[in-house]
Structure formats: structure tokens, C-alpha cells
Amino acid sequence: MVAIVGRRQVHYTERIKHLRNRPRVVRPHTRLDANDTLVQIANSFTKHDYTLYEELIFKYGTPGRKACVMFEECSKIQGLSEKILQLTNLRATDLNSHQKVVQMLRYRWSNQVESRANRVNSFEDVFWNRMAGSIQHRCKNNNYSLYKHWQGTDGKAKLASFLKKKFEFQNSKCAMSSELLELKVGSGYTNLNKASPDRINSNRGYYPNNLWLVASWVNTMKLDLPLETFCSKIHILANSLKEK
């Protein structure tokens, strides 16, 4: 059984290598109250419970099987804790909620995400390859048009090369704010200047003449606004702040 972490498949045995000794608190942006049933289930799992559950998913949760198979098989195991049976039952009845709990458990008990982030941040080519894959994924999910030479596996490598050259052409600076860009993955809220791909004209897709690199905070503020509208609004905001 493999799990998806940042669009990369991670095998069970690899995930178990990155266990934490102490659990983390579930991140606030899960939008779940501390008293929510799903949060309570996640908080009730010990490190042993978590590793055992990962093993059970590996053994019985093979992709393609019906969700109820794991619950039926685990129900036959003597001495399995009630909390684990509760989660396997949730998998059979509400797969979406089950995945939320599993994500919380993996966040609480695994350092897999940090381990992968460190790898990406340590190798520049891996960073650009990840960004290229993210653009392809975004185009597929949001039905954005993508330059034909950037499509597929070979296109991903070409797109990664383009992004790297664009970064060098921009002298490692944001195309709009001129601040130095950081080649680090992570939340845009904690790394405001991380390099972020942006469509110059938001009404067009991802093409060589419509793509540049900006700081994450710029991309977050701009969203899909037309470039001229965004710049005018920023100018209004700056003047307003000066007056105040």
C-alpha cells in the first residue's frame, strides 16, 4: 500500500522510518474544532496504534479493494482495540472522513512531509521538477491550457528547465516586487518570498510568454486579477496607507 504525500507515492515501509517520538498538535487550518469527533479519534491514537494502523492499511487497504474489506478483515483479528475498529469502520462508511483522520494521524506521528521537503530544498533540480509537476497537475484539475511542449513526462522536464532559466533571467528576483526569491517548499504563510509561478495574463494558460516567477505573497494577493487592475489597486492601497 502506498500513500500520497505531495503527489508523490510513499511506501508504508518508508513512512514508518520517519516516526516521531512525540505527537504534534493538529494544525488549525484543518478547520475542525478540537471537540470534533474526527479530531478526537486522531488524538486518541498512540504511536503504537498509529504504526499498527499503517500496517493494517498496508495489508488490507490495497487500492482497488472495496472499503469494507479492511473492516471485515480487521473484525476477525482478536484483541484489536476499539479505536482501530472504529476507524476501519469509518473507512467503510465514510471514506472522505477516514482520509481526514489518517492525514491528521500522519501529521501527528510522522516526519515524512518534512523529510521530503528537506530533500526538495537541498537539490535545486528537484525543486524545479516539483514546480513543473505542480503546474501540470493544476492545468489538469482546473482545465487550464498548457503549452504543448510542456505536456507529459518529457514535457515536465522541459518545463522544469524553462522555470530554472526564467529564475536566472530574473536574477533570482520576483518579477513584480524585485525581492529575492527563495527556492524552498512550504506554506506561503511562513515563507512569503518562496518562488511561485504566475500567469501574467490570468485569462490565458501556461505558455512561455505568459509565465513568470513571483514571490508567494504577490501571487496570493494577485490571484486571477488582471495585471493592470492588480497594480492599480496596489497603488491605491499604498497611497492610502501613507495617508494614514
- Mean pLDDT, the chain, integer: 84
Decide if pLDDT at 130 tops 50: yes
User: Taking the CA of residue 19 as centre, how many other CA atoms within 13 Å lie in the half-sphere pointing to its CB?
Assistant: 13
**Contact of 161 with 149, CB cutoff 8 Å:** no
- With 0.85 as the threshold, say if the pTM is over it: no
- At 1 the pLDDT is 39
Q: For residues 79 and 77, what is the distance between their CA atoms, to the nearest angstrom?
A: 6
Decide if pLDDT at 239 tops 70: yes
Decide if pLDDT at 33 tops 80: no
- Domains in the chain, please, with CATH? 2-115 (no CATH), 123-243 (3.30.40)
78-85 long-range contacts (CB < 8 A, ≥24 apart) are: 81/49, 83/41, 83/44, 83/45, 83/49, 84/49, 84/52, 84/53, 84/56
Q: For residues 72 and 92, what is the distance between their CA atoms, to the nearest angstrom?
A: 9
Please indicate whether residue 211 or residue 25 has the higher confidence score (pLDDT): 211
pLDDT digits (tens, 9 = 90+) for 48-100: 999 999 889 888 877 667 778 899 999 999 999 999 999 999 999 998 889 88
Q: Which of 26-30, 33-37, 108-112, 221-225 has the lowest mean pLDDT?
A: 26-30
pLDDT digits (tens, 9 = 90+) for 138-183: 999 899 999 999 999 999 999 999 999 999 999 999 999 999 998 8
Task: With H, G, I as helix, E, B as strand and everything else as coil, classify residue 27.
Answer: coil
